[in-house]
Protein backbone atom coordinates (compact mmCIF):
# COMPACT_ATOMS: atom_id res chain seq x y z
CA UNK A 1 0.00 0.00 0.00
CA UNK A 2 1.48 3.39 -0.97
CA UNK A 3 1.98 6.15 1.59
CA UNK A 4 -1.22 8.10 1.13
CA UNK A 5 -3.64 5.22 0.55
CA UNK A 6 -5.21 3.19 3.28
CA UNK A 7 -5.62 3.86 6.97
CA UNK A 8 -2.90 4.28 9.55
CA UNK A 9 -2.16 1.02 11.30
CA UNK A 10 -2.60 2.44 14.82
CA UNK A 11 -6.06 3.74 13.87
CA UNK A 12 -7.07 0.39 12.39
CA UNK A 13 -5.94 -1.40 15.56
CA UNK A 14 -7.67 1.12 17.82
CA UNK A 15 -10.89 0.92 15.77
CA UNK A 16 -10.79 -2.88 16.07
CA UNK A 17 -10.85 -2.54 19.85
CA UNK A 18 -7.21 -3.29 20.70
CA UNK A 19 -6.88 -0.16 22.83
CA UNK A 20 -6.17 3.57 22.54
CA UNK A 21 -4.15 4.79 19.58
CA UNK A 22 -1.28 5.52 21.95
CA UNK A 23 -1.37 1.95 23.23
CA UNK A 24 -1.47 0.65 19.65
CA UNK A 25 1.54 2.81 18.74
CA UNK A 26 3.35 1.28 21.65
CA UNK A 27 2.52 -2.25 20.42
CA UNK A 28 3.82 -1.32 16.95
CA UNK A 29 6.99 0.19 18.44
CA UNK A 30 7.60 -2.97 20.43
CA UNK A 31 7.46 -5.05 17.24
CA UNK A 32 4.35 -6.93 18.33
CA UNK A 33 2.31 -6.19 15.20
CA UNK A 34 2.56 -7.90 11.82
CA UNK A 35 0.83 -6.99 8.56
CA UNK A 36 0.57 -9.84 6.07
CA UNK A 37 3.18 -11.73 8.07
CA UNK A 38 5.74 -8.89 8.17
CA UNK A 39 6.68 -7.15 11.39
CA UNK A 40 5.90 -3.40 11.26
CA UNK A 41 7.76 -0.85 13.37
CA UNK A 42 6.67 2.38 11.61
CA UNK A 43 3.71 4.25 13.18
CA UNK A 44 2.81 5.88 9.86
CA UNK A 45 2.29 2.55 8.07
CA UNK A 46 -0.97 2.53 6.13
CA UNK A 47 -2.99 -0.60 5.62
CA UNK A 48 -6.18 -1.72 3.97
CA UNK A 49 -8.39 -2.96 6.82
CA UNK A 50 -10.60 -4.90 4.37
CA UNK A 51 -7.75 -6.89 2.84
CA UNK A 52 -4.61 -6.88 4.95
CA UNK A 53 -4.14 -9.58 7.57
CA UNK A 54 -3.01 -8.09 10.87
CA UNK A 55 -1.76 -9.93 13.95
CA UNK A 56 -0.86 -8.65 17.42
CA UNK A 57 1.31 -11.02 19.45
CA UNK A 58 0.52 -13.73 16.91
CA UNK A 59 -3.23 -13.30 17.28
CA UNK A 60 -5.27 -12.21 14.29
CA UNK A 61 -7.13 -8.93 14.63
CA UNK A 62 -10.38 -8.80 12.67
CA UNK A 63 -10.46 -5.45 10.86
CA UNK A 64 -13.00 -6.09 8.09
CA UNK A 65 -15.94 -3.76 8.67
CA UNK A 66 -18.60 -6.23 7.51
CA UNK A 67 -17.59 -9.12 9.72
CA UNK A 68 -19.80 -10.02 12.67
CA UNK A 69 -19.27 -12.50 15.48
CA UNK A 70 -21.82 -13.19 18.18
CA UNK A 71 -22.46 -15.64 20.98
CA UNK A 72 -26.04 -16.61 21.75
CA UNK A 73 -27.37 -18.66 24.63
CA UNK A 74 -29.95 -20.82 22.91
CA UNK A 75 -32.81 -21.61 25.29
CA UNK A 76 -34.23 -25.12 25.57
CA UNK A 77 -37.08 -25.72 23.08
CA UNK A 78 -35.57 -23.53 20.36
CA UNK A 79 -34.33 -25.05 17.09
CA UNK A 80 -30.71 -24.38 16.07
CA UNK A 81 -31.51 -22.66 12.79
CA UNK A 82 -31.90 -19.05 11.71
CA UNK A 83 -35.51 -19.64 10.65
CA UNK A 84 -38.01 -22.48 10.84
CA UNK A 85 -40.59 -23.27 8.18
CA UNK A 86 -42.72 -25.13 10.72
CA UNK A 87 -43.09 -21.95 12.76
CA UNK A 88 -41.10 -23.21 15.76
CA UNK A 89 -38.94 -20.77 17.70
CA UNK A 90 -35.51 -20.43 16.09
CA UNK A 91 -32.34 -18.46 16.81
CA UNK A 92 -33.68 -15.54 14.77
CA UNK A 93 -36.29 -14.97 17.50
CA UNK A 94 -33.49 -14.00 19.87
CA UNK A 95 -30.91 -12.38 17.64
CA UNK A 96 -32.03 -8.99 16.45
CA UNK A 97 -29.13 -7.91 14.24
CA UNK A 98 -29.30 -6.65 10.67
CA UNK A 99 -26.66 -8.94 9.17
CA UNK A 100 -27.35 -12.28 7.54
CA UNK A 101 -25.63 -14.70 9.88
CA UNK A 102 -25.13 -18.42 10.04
CA UNK A 103 -24.87 -20.59 13.11
CA UNK A 104 -21.69 -22.53 13.81
CA UNK A 105 -23.05 -26.03 14.31
CA UNK A 106 -26.18 -27.06 16.17
CA UNK A 107 -27.49 -28.07 19.54
CA UNK A 108 -30.42 -30.43 20.08
CA UNK A 109 -33.70 -28.57 20.50
CA UNK A 110 -33.81 -29.61 24.16
CA UNK A 111 -30.18 -28.62 24.82
CA UNK A 112 -29.48 -25.07 25.86
CA UNK A 113 -26.30 -23.08 25.63
CA UNK A 114 -23.65 -21.49 23.54
CA UNK A 115 -23.95 -21.18 19.77
CA UNK A 116 -21.69 -18.91 17.75
CA UNK A 117 -23.16 -16.87 14.93
CA UNK A 118 -21.14 -15.19 12.21
CA UNK A 119 -21.05 -14.12 8.59
CA UNK A 120 -17.39 -15.22 8.34
CA UNK A 121 -17.75 -18.32 6.20
CA UNK A 122 -14.16 -19.51 6.33
CA UNK A 123 -13.97 -19.30 10.11
CA UNK A 124 -17.37 -20.98 10.55
CA UNK A 125 -16.42 -23.78 8.18
CA UNK A 126 -13.21 -24.50 10.05
CA UNK A 127 -14.83 -24.32 13.48
CA UNK A 128 -17.32 -26.98 12.40
CA UNK A 129 -14.92 -29.20 10.48
CA UNK A 130 -13.84 -32.32 12.42
CA UNK A 131 -10.24 -32.00 11.20
CA UNK A 132 -9.71 -28.90 13.39
CA UNK A 133 -10.97 -30.77 16.46
CA UNK A 134 -12.32 -27.70 18.24
CA UNK A 135 -13.22 -28.72 21.82
CA UNK A 136 -16.71 -28.12 23.18
CA UNK A 137 -17.63 -28.32 26.84
CA UNK A 138 -21.03 -29.31 28.24
CA UNK A 139 -22.69 -29.49 31.62
CA UNK A 140 -24.91 -32.54 31.87
CA UNK A 141 -27.27 -33.38 34.70
CA UNK A 142 -27.49 -37.09 35.49
CA UNK A 143 -28.89 -39.16 38.34
CA UNK A 144 -26.24 -40.37 40.75
CA UNK A 145 -24.60 -41.90 42.52
CA UNK A 146 -21.93 -42.34 39.88
CA UNK A 147 -19.04 -44.79 40.08
CA UNK A 148 -15.54 -43.46 40.70
CA UNK A 149 -14.28 -44.72 37.38
CA UNK A 150 -16.91 -43.02 35.20
CA UNK A 151 -14.50 -40.31 34.02
CA UNK A 152 -11.82 -42.84 33.25
CA UNK A 153 -14.26 -44.90 31.18
CA UNK A 154 -15.43 -41.89 29.19
CA UNK A 155 -11.88 -40.68 28.61
CA UNK A 156 -10.86 -44.17 27.50
CA UNK A 157 -13.76 -44.09 25.04
CA UNK A 158 -16.94 -46.00 24.30
CA UNK A 159 -18.15 -47.71 21.15
CA UNK A 160 -21.48 -46.31 19.96
CA UNK A 161 -23.61 -47.51 17.05
CA UNK A 162 -21.76 -45.14 14.69
CA UNK A 163 -18.28 -45.76 16.08
CA UNK A 164 -15.88 -44.83 18.82
CA UNK A 165 -16.27 -41.69 20.93
CA UNK A 166 -14.19 -40.38 23.80
CA UNK A 167 -14.16 -37.47 26.19
CA UNK A 168 -11.11 -35.21 26.38
CA UNK A 169 -11.99 -34.18 29.93
CA UNK A 170 -14.56 -35.15 32.52
CA UNK A 171 -15.22 -33.97 36.06
CA UNK A 172 -18.00 -33.79 38.59
CA UNK A 173 -19.00 -30.12 38.66
CA UNK A 174 -21.60 -30.23 41.41
CA UNK A 175 -23.68 -32.71 43.34
CA UNK A 176 -26.86 -32.16 45.32
CA UNK A 177 -28.35 -35.40 46.59
CA UNK A 178 -28.70 -37.74 43.63
CA UNK A 179 -28.59 -34.88 41.14
CA UNK A 180 -25.09 -34.82 39.69
CA UNK A 181 -23.82 -32.17 37.31
CA UNK A 182 -20.88 -33.35 35.25
CA UNK A 183 -18.67 -31.33 32.94
CA UNK A 184 -17.55 -33.09 29.80
CA UNK A 185 -15.33 -31.85 26.99
CA UNK A 186 -15.16 -33.44 23.55
CA UNK A 187 -13.70 -32.31 20.27
CA UNK A 188 -16.24 -33.82 17.97
CA UNK A 189 -19.78 -32.96 16.99
CA UNK A 190 -21.73 -36.07 16.07
CA UNK A 191 -25.46 -35.84 16.66
CA UNK A 192 -26.61 -36.30 20.29
CA UNK A 193 -23.05 -37.32 21.12
CA UNK A 194 -23.02 -36.34 24.80
CA UNK A 195 -26.45 -37.86 25.44
CA UNK A 196 -25.47 -41.07 23.67
CA UNK A 197 -22.14 -41.41 25.47
CA UNK A 198 -23.64 -40.89 28.91
CA UNK A 199 -26.55 -43.21 28.18
CA UNK A 200 -24.08 -45.83 26.99
CA UNK A 201 -22.34 -45.81 30.38
CA UNK A 202 -25.68 -46.05 32.19
CA UNK A 203 -26.42 -42.40 33.00
CA UNK A 204 -29.03 -40.89 30.67
CA UNK A 205 -28.87 -37.11 30.54
CA UNK A 206 -31.69 -35.21 32.25
CA UNK A 207 -30.58 -31.76 31.11
CA UNK A 208 -27.77 -30.59 28.88
CA UNK A 209 -26.12 -27.22 28.31
CA UNK A 210 -23.08 -26.21 26.25
CA UNK A 211 -20.90 -23.82 28.21
CA UNK A 212 -17.85 -23.43 25.97
CA UNK A 213 -17.02 -23.62 22.28
CA UNK A 214 -13.25 -23.59 21.62
CA UNK A 215 -11.93 -20.55 23.47
CA UNK A 216 -15.36 -18.89 23.85
CA UNK A 217 -17.13 -19.24 27.18
CA UNK A 218 -20.85 -18.85 27.74
CA UNK A 219 -20.16 -17.03 31.02
CA UNK A 220 -23.12 -15.14 32.47
CA UNK A 221 -25.00 -14.81 29.16
CA UNK A 222 -28.65 -15.52 30.01
CA UNK A 223 -30.74 -17.92 27.86
CA UNK A 224 -32.29 -16.05 24.96
CA UNK A 225 -29.67 -13.30 24.92
CA UNK A 226 -26.84 -12.50 22.54
CA UNK A 227 -23.57 -10.61 22.78
CA UNK A 228 -20.92 -9.53 20.29
CA UNK A 229 -17.55 -11.24 20.73
CA UNK A 230 -14.65 -8.93 21.54
CA UNK A 231 -11.49 -8.56 19.50
CA UNK A 232 -9.49 -10.89 21.76
CA UNK A 233 -12.13 -13.63 21.52
CA UNK A 234 -12.25 -13.31 17.72
CA UNK A 235 -8.44 -13.58 17.60
CA UNK A 236 -8.57 -16.70 19.77
CA UNK A 237 -11.16 -18.29 17.49
CA UNK A 238 -8.90 -17.67 14.49
CA UNK A 239 -6.00 -19.16 16.38
CA UNK A 240 -8.00 -22.26 17.32
CA UNK A 241 -8.39 -23.12 13.62
CA UNK A 242 -5.00 -21.95 12.34
CA UNK A 243 -6.09 -18.71 10.66
N1 LIG B 1 -24.38 -33.56 22.40
C2 LIG B 1 -25.69 -33.81 22.54
O3 LIG B 1 -26.10 -34.91 22.93
N4 LIG B 1 -26.57 -32.84 22.25
C5 LIG B 1 -26.19 -31.60 21.87
O6 LIG B 1 -27.04 -30.73 21.64
C7 LIG B 1 -24.81 -31.35 21.73
C8 LIG B 1 -23.93 -32.36 22.00
195 lines ligand 1 (CB under 6 A): yes
- Using the atom order of ligand 1, give the atom closest to the CA of residue 136: 8
CA dihedral 187, 193, 197, 202 (to 10 degrees): 150
Of all residues in the chain, what percent are helix, strand and coil, respectively (each to 5)?
25, 30, 45
Ligand 1 center from residue 98 Cα (angstroms): 29
pLDDT beyond 60 at 221: yes
Show Cβ contacts of residue 47 under 8 Å, excluding neighbours closer than 6 positions: 1, 6, 7, 8, 9, 12, 35, 54, 63
pTM given for the model = 0.93
pLDDT tens readout for residues 134-184: 999 999 999 999 999 999 999 999 999 999 999 999 999 999 999 999 999
Active site residue 108: yes
Alpha helices by DSSP H, listed for 157-207, are: 193-200
Bridge partners of 165?
158
pLDDT beyond 60 at 1: no
- Using the atom order of ligand 1, give the atom closest to the CA of residue 111: 6
Q: Is 218 exposed, middle or buried (0-12, 13-18, 19+ CB in 10 A)?
A: buried
Region label for 3, one of left (φ > 0), alpha (ψ between -120 and 50) or beta (otherwise): alpha
Ligand 1 center from residue 195 Cα (angstroms): 6
Q: How far apart are CA 170 and CA 76, in angstroms?
A: 23
What's the confidence (pLDDT) of residue 95? 83
Q: How far apart are CA 39 and CA 44, in angstroms?
A: 14
115 lines ligand 1 (CB under 6 A): no
**Residue 95: what are its φ and ψ, rounded to 5°?**
-110, 100
pLDDT beyond 80 at 43: no
Confirm if 223 and 115 have CB atoms less than 8 A apart: no
pLDDT beyond 70 at 194: yes
Show Cβ contacts of residue 156 under 8 Å, excluding neighbours closer than 6 positions: 166
Q: How far apart are CA 154 and CA 95, in angstroms?
A: 35
Amino acid sequence: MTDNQGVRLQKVLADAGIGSRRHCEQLIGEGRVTVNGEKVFRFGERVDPERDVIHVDGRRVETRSEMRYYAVNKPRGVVSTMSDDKGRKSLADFVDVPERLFHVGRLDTDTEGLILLTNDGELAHRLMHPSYGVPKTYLAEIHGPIPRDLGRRLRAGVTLEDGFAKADRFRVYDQVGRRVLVEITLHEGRKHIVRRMLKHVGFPVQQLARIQFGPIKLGQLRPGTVRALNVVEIGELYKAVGL
